[in-house]
Amino acid sequence: MGGMSQLISPTLSSPASPACPFQRRRRSQASAPRRPRATRPAVISCESGPSERVDRREVLLGLGGMCAAGGLGVGRRGDALALPIQAPNLSECQTAGTSSGNNCCPPYSATILDYKFTPTGKLRVRRPAHKVDEAYLAKYKKAVELMKALPADDPRSFAQQANVHCAYCDGAYDQVGFPDLELQVHNSWLFFPFHRFYLHFHERILGKLIGDDSFALPFWNWDAPAGMTIPQIFTDPSSSLYDPLRDPAHQPPEVLDMDLGDAAPTPQRQIDLNLSIMYRQMRRGGSMENSPHGPVHVWVGDPRQPNGENMGIFYSAGRDPIFYSHHANVDRMWQVWKKLNPRNVDFTDQDWLDSSFLFYDEDARLVRVKVRDCLDPEMLGFTYQKVDLPWLSKRATPRATPAGESSSTSSSPPDFPLTLSSLASITLKRPKVSRPQADKDKQEETLVVDGIEFDPTNCVKFDVYVDDTDAGEVKPDDSEFAGSFFNVPHGRGNKKKGKMEAMTTTLRLGITDLLEDLKLDDDDEILVTLIPRRGKGKVKIGGVRIELSS
């Protein structure tokens, strides 16, 4: 299948310091812009090795680039295979698996209705947050103000809305029929549909509170230069849209850093890097959930808090109103991706289409929804205002290799499993060289980092480079940069054992275009380098390989 396997991906804190501290950086000089070139989208699949069958209920494909196995039950329960995820049983909701043991459970209702959306004839239009007018802003502020004023036990209240994310993302629910399997919407193919429904009902509740059926959430347009700062509508301390638990150093006009790098570029250079990251994630088999979704969460969160609250850790992310605009843009990327190329299509697997969730609607009724009902935004009554996509012209260009220096230098292979505490390089044999274009269109050459094991409560990031002897100097707008692994801190406690469990996942990066750019299409071997950026020594790597993915 040549579809969502290119856009999904799996990707958390000590009491004394933030889970994902953001280091203050000095600015450097800007670099010259890159020349754009044409490309084709990569096609990535997610599967286990020859001896292990992957449970599809734990696989995160396409819009992300990774496969999550991590202690969620892969290979443990054969009867759990080939079954759609069922909506959780609210009566069995438990304390979320966070370090502070949060109770994120919603109010209980024994009555569940199958949700039927009734079109109103006019689509709600989600617009860029930095372009909304005063009339809209007044309505939005009033709607959130009224939501925050609702009783604490009202499932439509702002606190309860925030708890929805905590419950589905931090282990409050087990999978129905499989008590040893946690229901987790991150790092799985449930990521996009869950959040689309979540925003839909949040939006409908806000509209109901102000009596405006046309009300739509704004989207944080962080994929365009004009939107790469926190939108001004969220910065007024007297507004209901304000959250004091944000990084004070990242207020406007500070430019969003999608890379969370150590050195601080000039604002224009940062914008260029962000656009290059967007290009890679949307056009080359990257992971939208992995980045920029994850780095934006951490960049906004407050490093003065124990876990980077609110946005910097999943259990509290929904407490910040900006969360909903952030995810509106993530959701928008799903739509943009499907329109970039006819091959970019949603999964057709019935297990995915029939997976279901529970939400409270604008009338406080508990409703059941299925993934198949959210694939077309217009069927849910909303659309996005069309805006420019400046990252489409940001294809990376290879750096010049110094005279007399071979960039494919052999390297002594490290011993796996490897604790990634410093740079690690390995020379890998390619499965096939000099492939014709027709073959490339059918199969993506994929770099696979297997057995990525880490504590999900830690912030972890490492970069992956190809064919570079000085990988420490490579930036996201260089062709040698293949991609990154990034984990947003989240609780994943085993409630029966009373402890946090390690997560194991696999990162998959499409490298067909990258190898063409580097003129390595005819090489039998390539040099791959992993560099830890955050959580050094806190992640293990099981192995690295190259395969062809259909």
**Tokens 């056009």, located at residue:** 283
Quick one: pLDDT at residue 431? 96
pLDDT higher than 90, residue 222: yes
**Considering only 227-236, 257-266, 311-320, which range has the smallest mean pLDDT?**
257-266
pLDDT at 59 over 60: no
Average pLDDT over residues 511-533: 93
Tokens describing residue 514? 């990258």
Mean pLDDT of 234-262: 96
Establish if 462 belongs to a structural domain. Answer: no
Domain that holds residue 273: 4-393
Is 193 within a domain? yes
Provide the CATH number for the domain around residue 48.
1.10.1280.10
Residue 338 backbone dihedrals phi, psi, to 5 degrees: -65, -20
The verdict on residue 276 lying in a domain is yes
Q: How far is Cα 2 from Cα 348, in angstroms, rounded to an integer?
A: 11
Is 428 contained in some domain? no
Region 163-170: what's the mean pLDDT?
94
Mean pLDDT for the stretch of residues 33-40: 34
Band the pLDDT of 326: cuts 50, 70, 90. very high
Q: Which of 323, 327, 481, 490 is catalytic?
A: 327
| CA dihedral sign, ordered 56, 546, 64, 374 | negative
> Is 250 tagged catalytic?
no
Q: What is the pLDDT of residues 461-473, one digit of tens each?
A: 999 999 866 655 6
Residue 474 lies in a domain: no
More confident residue, 400 or 157: 157
Global pTM reads 0.84
pLDDT for position 227: 99
Task: Clarify whether 490 is annotated catalytic.
Answer: no
Is residue 165 part of the annotated active site? The answer reads yes
Q: Decide if 195 is catalytic.
A: yes
b/e map 409-440, b = 16+ CB within 10 Å: eeeeebeeebebeeebbbebebeeeebeeeeb
- Per-residue pLDDT band for 200 (boundaries 50, 70, 90) equals very high
Q: Which residues are annotated as a binding site?
A: 165, 186, 195, 293, 297, 327
Q: Answer whether residue 407 is part of any domain.
A: no
Write down the catalytic residue from 130, 165, 200, 326: 165
Q: How far apart are CA 198 and CA 481, in angstroms?
A: 34
Higher pLDDT pick, 96 / 524: 524
Q: Is 461 helix (H, G, I), strand (E, B) or coil?
A: strand
Would you call 158 a catalytic residue per the annotation? no
> What region, left, alpha or beta, does residue 31 occupy, with left being phi > 0 and alpha being psi -120 to 50 degrees?
beta
Name the domain count of the chain: 1
Q: Strand, helix or coil at 58?
A: helix
* DSSP codes joined into one string, 263-327: SB--HHHHHHHHHHHHHHHHHTT--TIIIIIHHHHHHHS-TTSTT-TTTTSHHHHTTSTHHHHHH
Assess whether 327 carries a catalytic annotation.
Answer: yes
| Percent with pLDDT over 70 in the chain | 78
Give the per-residue pLDDT at 28. 38
Position 414 scores a pLDDT of 87
Say which of 191, 192, 219, 314 is annotated catalytic.
314
Band (pLDDT 50/70/90 cuts) for residue 191 is very high
* pLDDT for residue 306 is more than 80: yes
pLDDT (tens digit per residue) in 395-415:
887 765 543 344 444 456 789
Residue 273 in tokens: 């890097």
**Which of 22, 130, 158, 186 is flagged as catalytic?**
186
Region class of 537: left (phi > 0), else alpha (psi between -120 and 50), else beta:
left
Give the pLDDT confidence score for residue 505 in this predicted structure: 87
- Determine which one of 192, 194, 195, 357 is catalytic: 195
Percent of the chain topping pLDDT 90 = 61
**Interval 122-143: pLDDT, tens:** 999 999 999 999 999 999 999 9
Residue set of the binding site for Cu cation = 165, 186, 195, 293, 297, 327
CA atoms 170, 174, 175, 176: torsion sign: negative
Sign of the C-alpha dihedral, residues 542, 543, 546, 548?
negative
- Can you give the pLDDT at residue 182? 85
Average pLDDT score, the chain: 83
Of 149-158, 166-175, 272-281, 475-484, least confident by mean pLDDT is 475-484
Instruction: Examine the residue annotation and report whether 326 is marked as an active-site residue of this protein.
Output: no
Average pLDDT over residues 155-162: 98
Residue 291 lies in a domain: yes
Q: What is the mean pLDDT of residues 378-394?
A: 96
pLDDT at residue number 68: 35
CA dihedral 138, 140, 142, 146 (to 10 degrees): 180
Reported as a pLDDT band with limits 50, 70 and 90, residue 284 is: confident
Element (H, E) at 147: helix 134-149
> Quick check: 531 pLDDT over 80?
yes
The reported pLDDT for the residue numbered 470 is 64
Tokens read off for 383: 């659309």
Which of 9-13, 327-331, 348-352, 440-444 shows the lowest per-residue confidence on average (mean pLDDT)?
A: 9-13
Mean pLDDT of the 261-279 span: 91
**One-letter amino acid of 86:** Q
The answer as to whether 91 is a domain residue is yes
